[in-house]
Structure 1
Amino acid sequence: MMRALIFVSLPQMNQSGDNAKGSAATNWSGSMDITVFSTNYLNDLAEQAAGSPRRRQNRNVHASYADPCQRMFNAIDPDSYLAPHRHSPLQGNETIVAVRGLLALVIFDDLGRISESLLIGAGHCSAREGVAAGADIPPLRWHTILALEAASILLEVKAGPFDPQMPKEVAPWAPEEGTPDAHRYHQSVIERIRQQFEWCERSK
């Protein structure tokens, strides 16, 4: 079940790790204190992802780890490998909504076999048959996200507060990020998804 999302104005975080330190979102000139996530805001994030060695970049909307609602934008390019992982029940569900481009949510069983896959997209991709706007992922489900189009962007929402001492659990059968095995594995999963959804090669 998808959740309604309300954006409120919060100062942008400057944390270590993957969180972007780019320009702040455009401020709305109306009477309310609202932050607008403009096209320039998304373009800037996509450019940072393209220039990152990991080929992805996230930017937090929440003000701190203590916030009860943790939300971020995540720009991902097709050659970015996110190791299959899962979250504990204490971390709760993870909601993802496509903001730009075309991506695939891939679910695995405990042995690392693909059990489910779902295309999620926005803009011109959203009109395709079988493309969802997003998904709500329960805890303990092994999963990864693949970008099938350059500069694809997700909005991710999780319950807070966030405990950095309780990170996501990477699948034991998943290759370590940055290794040759990871590159081969990533390409093989993308190829399987493209074969399943033949038209996604022509989605641009």
Structure 2
Amino acid sequence: MEFNKDFLDILFVQAKENPRLRQHFDLRTSAADTSQRMLNALLPGTVVPIHRHEDTTETVICLCGKLDEVIYEEVVSYRYDVKGLPHGMDAQDVLRKVTYREVQRIRLCPAEAKYGCQIPKGAWHTVEVIESSVIFEAKDGAYRQ
């Protein structure tokens, strides 16, 4: 299989038709292949929720376009509701709030000789698409939602 301009153009057409503004192409050769390898066409405006892969690093190579891989750290804060608790607090009275603080932004753009990156295992991350892009993604292990 060859990945040429015509192939990428088809992915872009499919991404435009997809409400998520992205389209992946699975590169696994069989259902028994437990790796994750795919091409992903991403259009500006697509929203990729901040997420992480707890058991694997992720390799991202940009074939065309321009995007930022954004790495975050998780910030956890607690608020205690002590109203009416004269004898101590119950675990149900603790409010846990999770936010994310950006710690690194990695520009991927082959026209600028910025080809790819490795996202560390367990790192919270997302992608912000600047120009329509196609990336190659690889991770260990079978896909889990």
TM range (shorter): 0.7 to 0.9
Tell me, yes or no, if structure 1 residue 143 matches structure 2 residue 125: yes
* Off by >4 Å, runs of 4+ in structure 1: none
* Percent identity (aligned): 33
The 1-side partners of 2:124 and 2:35 are apart by: 22
- In structure 2, runs of 5+ residues without a counterpart are 76-99
CA separation of 1:57 and 1:163: change in aligned 2, threshold 3 A: closer
The Cα offsets for residues 51-104 of structure 1, whole Å up to 9 and x where unpaired, read as 110001101111234315421000011100000000112xx1110000110010
Aligned-pair CA distance for 1:159:
1.9
2:120 is aligned with what amino acid? P
Tell me, yes or no, if structure 1 residue 153 matches structure 2 residue 134: yes
The 2-side partners of 1:83 and 1:105 are apart by: 12
2:121 is aligned with what amino acid? P
Does the 8 Å contact 1:49/1:77 carry over to 2?
Answer: yes
CA RMSD of superposed structures (Å): 1.4
Does the 8 Å contact 2:44/2:129 carry over to 1?
Answer: yes
* DSSP 3-state at the match of 1:85: coil
Aligned-pair CA distance for 1:41:
0.6
Does the 8 Å contact 1:65/1:163 carry over to 2?
Answer: no
The 2-side partners of 1:133 and 1:110 are apart by: 27
Tell me, yes or no, if structure 1 residue 118 matches structure 2 residue 99: no
1:67 is aligned with what amino acid? D
The 1-side partners of 2:72 and 2:124 are apart by: 5
The structure in which a higher percent of residues are strand is 2
- In structure 1, runs of 5+ residues without a counterpart are 1-34, 168-204
Tell me, yes or no, if structure 1 residue 108 matches structure 2 residue 72: yes
The 2-side partners of 1:64 and 1:116 are apart by: 35
Tell me the TM-score normalised to structure 1 length.
0.56
Partner residue, 1:37: 3
2:61 is aligned with what amino acid? V
The structure in which a higher percent of residues are helix is 1
1:86 to 52, 69, 73: 52
Higher relative contact order (CA 8 A, sep 6+): 2
1:141 is aligned with what amino acid? A
1:110 is aligned with what amino acid? E
Tell me the TM-score normalised to structure 2 length.
0.77
* DSSP 3-state at the match of 1:149: strand
2:32 is aligned with what amino acid? A
